[in-house]
C-alpha cells in the first residue's frame, strides 16, 4: 500500500464522519487541511489536543484551514466526544484503519507492559492543492497547535 510522502499529493480518501456525513479529501479542495490522528476518544491527551484545536479554530479558519480529527473509534463515540467538548470540526471514524495505514500511524505501543498496535499521535498539513506539506509524528500535545499554526503561516 502507498504511504504519504511530504511534497507529494495525498491519495484520495473518504471516511464516515460526525454529523452523519462522509468526508473526502476532495471535499477539502481549495482549503488547507490539518488531519490529526489521535489514539482514543475521551482520554486525557486526546481531549486536551482536541480542545487546543477547538480553542484556535478561528485562527485556523482565517488561514483558510479545515481541521479533521481521526481515530479508530466508532461514530457514536466520536459524536459523544465532539458534543461533550464542543469541537467545531468533524471527527472521522477509521475502524478499518485504511487512512491510518495510508499515513503510517499504526505503531506498536506499550500499554501497561503489554505490546499493542495503536495510533501514534500524528498530525499532517495538506495544502489547498492536496499536497502533503508537513508532518508531525510522536506528537507531544503541549504547544503542538501553535507549531501547526506557524507551519500554516509559512505556506
- 46 in active site: yes
Indicate whether 110 belongs to any domain: yes
List all residues 6 or more positions away from 142 whose beta carbon is below 8 Å from its beta carbon: none
Q: What pLDDT is recorded for position 113?
A: 84
Position 86 in a domain: yes
How many domains does the structure of the chain reveal? 1
Q: Establish if 11 belongs to a structural domain.
A: no
Domain that holds residue 133: 18-153
CA torsion through residues 18, 51, 117, 70, sign: positive
Tell me the C-alpha distance between 107 and 116, whole Å: 8
Examine residue 3 and state whether it is found in any structural domain, yes or no.
no
- Residue 1's pLDDT is 53
- Residue 107 CA to residue 67 CA, distance in Å, equals 23
For residue 28, being part of any structural domain is answered with yes
Distance CA(65)–CA(31), nearest Å, equals 6
pTM for the structure as a whole: 0.95
Position 1 in a domain: no
Nearest Cα to 131, choosing from 44, 22, 14, 11? 11
Positions in the chain whose pLDDT score sits under 70: 1
Catalytic-labelled residue, pool 15, 17, 46, 152: 46
Is there a domain that residue 5 lies in?
no
CATH number for the domain harbouring residue 108 = 3.40.30.10
Amino acid at each position: 500500500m502507498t504511504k504519504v510522502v511530504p511534497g507529494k499529493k495525498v491519495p484520495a480518501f473518504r471516511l464516515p464522519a460526525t454529523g452523519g456525513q462522509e468526508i473526502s479529501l476532495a471535499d477539502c479542495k481549495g482549503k488547507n487541511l490539518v488531519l490529526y490522528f489521535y489514539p482514543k476518544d475521551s482520554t486525557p491527551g486526546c481531549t486536551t489536543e482536541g480542545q487546543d484545536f477547538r480553542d484556535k479554530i478561528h485562527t485556523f479558519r482565517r488561514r483558510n484551514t479545515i481541521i479533521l480529527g481521526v481515530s479508530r473509534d466508532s461514530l457514536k463515540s466520536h459524536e459523544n466526544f465532539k458534543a461533550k467538548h464542543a469541537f467545531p470540526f468533524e471527527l472521522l471514524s477509521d475502524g478499518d484503519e485504511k487512512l491510518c495505514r495510508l499515513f503510517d500511524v499504526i505503531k506498536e505501543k506499550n500499554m501497561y507492559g503489554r505490546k499493542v498496535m495503536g495510533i501514534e499521535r500524528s498530525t499532517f498539513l495538506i495544502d489547498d492543492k492536496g499536497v502533503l506539506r508537513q508532518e508531525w509524528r510522536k506528537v507531544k500535545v503541549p504547544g503542538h497547535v501553535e507549531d501547526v499554526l506557524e507551519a500554516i503561516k509559512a505556506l
